[in-house]
């Protein structure tokens, strides 16, 4: 029942998002036909291409036509590359997925120990230093951080490539070296958010009565922290991981351009600039489904992390 309810909500969200994005994109000034044919094409040639692509049809007709295609798994064909949009997305999705997962792993992997350390020493020098570091990371735009990291790790030390992408299927080692800098760049902003959230929640949890009881029972501070305080303090963090997917995707657009990664974000941006409506729509559907799915998964994780939620 819950699954059906979620699916209905997903469908409503998808309809709203795709219609709005389709309408907004079509309201943008600029003509896809000029992007396809260039400046020197005649008016007759433009009319011919417009008709071939169905761009002479009203907006709603085009949207419904596209929606009908989606229902049968046909995402349409790119105006510019004339490739099926589904194939374009399938080719680029692994790149973006790997980048997002790697960024989240790096962010969480570093944020948890940092948050725990800061909470344990709340108000002391280490906490203040970590707080300052968090704010510095939060306030550094990803494109600045990316350029700095390239300068240090690629140009000066030459331990990773500055740009480029090697698929896992081609060479795992090269793949890891090509994803590490983009993932660190993307993950740093999230790291700061996660560390701050965890620190705040942990400090509150450490003042709970059951923690005082645990201390009175003689449990070690490490055991109290990692076994008894961390899990109930992670709810906000888990929520943020789900909600931040949107921010991560936004950051991925910049990161993919900066590091020359052939991902979905770059496809969407290029398609917006070239008014390739169907490619943009395909990307929007993909991101919307992904966003909703991740947040459903987050709801399920709540229950696994906190028994009180499971019982409720």
Partner 1 sequence: MKRWRTPATLLLATAVLLACSGQRPVAGPPGGGPSAASSGPAQGGRLVYGLSADANGFNPVTDQFAAQSYSMVTTIIEPLVAVAADGSWKPYLAESVTPNDKYDEWTIKVRSGIAFTDGIRLTGDIVKANLEAQKASPLTAAVFVPIKSFELADPMTVKVKLSQPWVAFPYYLAAQNGMIVPPASLADPRTASLKPVGTGPFIFKEYVPDNRMVVVKNPHYWRNGLPYLDEIEFRILPDSQTRAQTLEAGGIDAIGTSRDEDLTKFGAMKDAYSVHRAEGMAVAEYFFLLNTAVAPLDDVRVRRALAHATDRRTVISTLRGGLTEPADGPWSKDSPWYAAGGYPDYDLAKATALVKEVEAEKGPIRFELISTPDPNTMQGVELAQDMWRKAGIEVSIKQADQADLINRAITGGFQATVWTQFSAQDPDGEYIWMHQGYAKPVGSISLNMTRLKDDRLSKALDVGRISPDEATRKQAYATVQERLRELVPYVFVDHLNTGAIIARSRVQGIGEHTLPDGEKGLPLTGSPIPYHPFTQIWVTQR
- Per CB under 8 A, 127 contacts partner 1: no
- By C-beta, is 157 or 217 nearer to partner 1? 157
Contact positions with partner 1 (CB under 8 A) in 155-174: 155, 158-165, 171, 173-174
Closest by alpha carbon to 251, among 159, 297, 164, 188? Answer: 188
- Per CB under 8 A, 277 contacts partner 1: no
- Per CB under 8 A, 218 contacts partner 1: no
- Per CB under 8 A, 122 contacts partner 1: no
Rg, Å, the chain Cα set = 24
- Per CB under 8 A, 38 contacts partner 1: yes
Structural contact between residues 157 and 238, judged by C-beta atoms closer than 8 angstroms = no
- Per CB under 8 A, 200 contacts partner 1: no
Q: Which position among 29, 58, 73, 218 is part of the footprint of partner 1 (CB under 8 A)?
A: 29
Q: Which position among 53, 99, 116, 240 is part of the footprint of partner 1 (CB under 8 A)?
A: 116
Total residues interacting with partner 1, rule: CB under 8 A: 72
Contact positions with partner 1 (CB under 8 A) in 69-88: 80-83, 88
Q: Which position among 42, 72, 169, 207 is part of the footprint of partner 1 (CB under 8 A)?
A: 42
- Distant-in-sequence, close-in-space partners of 184: CB < 8 Å, separation ≥ 6: 103, 106, 149
Inter-CA distances, 228 with 14, 72, 312, Å: 40, 49, 20
* Minimum gap (Å) between residue 13 Cβ and partner 1: 28
Structural contact between residues 302 and 238, judged by C-beta atoms closer than 8 angstroms = yes
Structural contact between residues 189 and 138, judged by C-beta atoms closer than 8 angstroms = yes
Structural contact between residues 163 and 127, judged by C-beta atoms closer than 8 angstroms = no
- Cα(258)–Cα(16) distance, rounded to whole angstroms? 31
- Per CB under 8 A, 232 contacts partner 1: no
- Per CB under 8 A, 130 contacts partner 1: no
Q: Which position among 12, 15, 20, 28 is part of the footprint of partner 1 (CB under 8 A)?
A: 28
- Per CB under 8 A, 191 contacts partner 1: no
- By C-beta, is 75 or 259 nearer to partner 1? 259
Q: Which position among 177, 200, 236, 295 is part of the footprint of partner 1 (CB under 8 A)?
A: 177
- Cα(78)–Cα(76) distance, rounded to whole angstroms? 7
- Distant-in-sequence, close-in-space partners of 99: CB < 8 Å, separation ≥ 6: 179, 182, 183, 186, 252, 255, 256, 261, 263
């Amino acid at each position: 029942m819950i699954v059906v309810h979620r699916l209905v909500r997903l469908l409503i969200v998808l309809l709203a998002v795709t219609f709005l994005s389709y309408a907004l994109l079509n309201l943008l000034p600029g003509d896809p036909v000029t992007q396809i044919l260039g400046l020197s094409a005649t008016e007759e040639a433009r009319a011919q291409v417009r008709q071939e692509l169905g761009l002479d049809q009203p907006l709603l007709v085009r949207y419904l036509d596209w929606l009908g295609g989606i229902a049968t798994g046909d995402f349409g064909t790119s105006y510019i590359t004339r490739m099926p949009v589904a194939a374009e997305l399938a080719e680029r999705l692994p790149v973006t997925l790997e980048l997002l997962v790697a960024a989240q792993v790096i962010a969480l992997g570093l944020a948890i120990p940092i948050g725990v350390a800061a909470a344990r020493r709340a108000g002391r020098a280490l906490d203040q230093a970590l707080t300052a570091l968090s704010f510095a990371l939060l306030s550094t735009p990803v494109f600045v951080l990316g350029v700095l990291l390239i300068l240090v790790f690629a140009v000066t030390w030459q331990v990773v490539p500055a740009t480029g992408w090697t698929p896992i299927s081609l060479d795992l080692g090269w793949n890891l070296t090509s994803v590490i800098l983009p993932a660190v760049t993307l993950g740093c902003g999230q790291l700061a958010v996660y560390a701050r959230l965890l620190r705040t929640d942990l400090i509150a949890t450490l003042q709970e009565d059951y923690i005082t009881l645990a201390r009175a029972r003689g449990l070690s501070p490490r055991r109290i922290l990692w076994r008894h305080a961390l899990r109930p303090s992670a709810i906000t963090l888990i929520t943020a991981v789900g909600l931040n997917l949107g921010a991560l995707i936004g950051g991925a657009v910049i990161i993919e351009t900066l590091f020359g990664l052939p991902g979905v974000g770059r496809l969407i941006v290029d398609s917006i600039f070239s008014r390739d409506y169907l490619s943009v729509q395909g990307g929007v559907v993909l991101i919307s489904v992904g966003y909703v799915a991740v947040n459903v998964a987050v709801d399920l994780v709540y229950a696994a992390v906190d028994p009180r939620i499971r019982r409720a």
